[in-house]
């Protein structure tokens, strides 16, 4: 894997990805942050050696380098998921490439369903902790110890300092920022009523199909990470309606400006 990472890094360096400070992963329906960048270079995933290719129609599939909030950033416009048929090594490979390029902080976003019925669609949840229900770990492979400590502590997987800063920014800009536990499942099917009840019982406030693998690898690398969930639907098992994916994308778009404000203002402070 070290060779694969190095090949990707060298390719990106040749295309101007020079010493990015902050990495950003944009989730479903959350690609417009790049409109706020001064873009210096962009590369499609399918051109980068050893990179997977985004197959979800509302994920753009580009790695973008530029300036935001006075910092050099690299942005994944679209991510990879287990439900696309990729392995956890594939899903998290870009995080390892970002780290090798020099990224010092990682910001992650996703779209998710609200399990906590006090939370409403269109709001944003700061992820304080998570539950991994994807059935495996991105660290469960032979040779992982060459890339970092095998037995990674996960007592505080999300950086407390960055999370505190995000809460302060939300307060200053009158953004409703919930805080809670994100459960990550495989998908791509949505949950049954019984599964939503189960998720609530085990302590989840929101559910989605991403983020946790990238966060585990960030912790493996000692890379401070913060993540936010845009809540796109309310998962009430007693009043469950059929899911409309177009409505979910539209709701992500509605909440996106607040997510952009949070990330942009945080980057200025880092």
Q: At 156, which CATH number?
A: 3.40.50.1580
The answer to whether 76 and 63 have CB atoms below 8 angstroms apart is: yes
pLDDT band at 57 (very low <50, low <70, confident <90, very high): low
For residue 110, CA distances in Å to 5, 57, 140 come to 25, 15, 24
pLDDT band at 60 (very low <50, low <70, confident <90, very high): low
Give 176-219 pLDDT, tens digit per residue. Answer: 999 999 999 999 999 999 999 999 999 999 999 999 999 999 99
- Among candidate residues 208, 196, 200, 128, the one with its CA nearest the CA of residue 160: 128
Confidence (pTM): 0.95
Residue range 115-124: average pLDDT?
96
* Total domain count, the chain: 1
d(CA 216, CA 214): 5
Query: Is a pLDDT exceeding 80 seen at residue 75?
Result: yes
Domain housing 188 = 2-269
Query: Is a pLDDT exceeding 80 seen at residue 55?
Result: no
The answer to whether 265 and 69 have CB atoms below 8 angstroms apart is: yes
């Amino acid at each position: 894997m070290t060779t694969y990472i190095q090949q990707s890094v060298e390719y990106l360096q040749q295309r101007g990805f020079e010493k990015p400070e902050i990495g950003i992963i944009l989730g479903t329906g959350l690609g417009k942050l790049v409109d706020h960048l001064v873009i210096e270079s962009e590369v499609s995933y399918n051109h980068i050696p050893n990179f997977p290719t985004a197959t979800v129609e509302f994920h753009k599939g580009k790695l973008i380098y530029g300036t935001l909030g006075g910092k050099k950033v690299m942005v994944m416009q679209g991510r990879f998921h287990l439900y696309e048929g990729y392995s956890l090594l594939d899903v998290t490979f870009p995080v390892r490439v970002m780290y090798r390029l020099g990224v010092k902080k990682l910001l992650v976003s996703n779209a998710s369903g609200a399990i906590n019925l006090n939370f409403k669609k269109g709001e944003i949840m700061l992820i304080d902790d998570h539950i991994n229900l994807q059935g495996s770990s991105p660290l469960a492979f032979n040779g992982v110890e060459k890339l970092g400590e095998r037995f990674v502590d996960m007592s505080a997987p999300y950086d407390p300092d960055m999370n505190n800063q995000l809460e302060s920014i939300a307060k200053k800009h009158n953004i409703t920022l919930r805080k809670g536990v994100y459960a990550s499942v495989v998908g791509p099917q949505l949950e049954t009523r019984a599964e939503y009840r189960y998720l609530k019982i085990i302590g989840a406030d929101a559910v989605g199909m991403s983020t946790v693998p990238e966060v585990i690898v960030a912790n493996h690398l000692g890379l401070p990470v913060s993540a936010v969930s845009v809540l796109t639907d309310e998962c009430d098992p007693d009043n469950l309606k059929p899911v409309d994916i177009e409505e979910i994308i539209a709701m992500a778009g509605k909440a996106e400006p607040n997510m952009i404000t949070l990330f942009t203002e945080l980057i200025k402070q880092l």
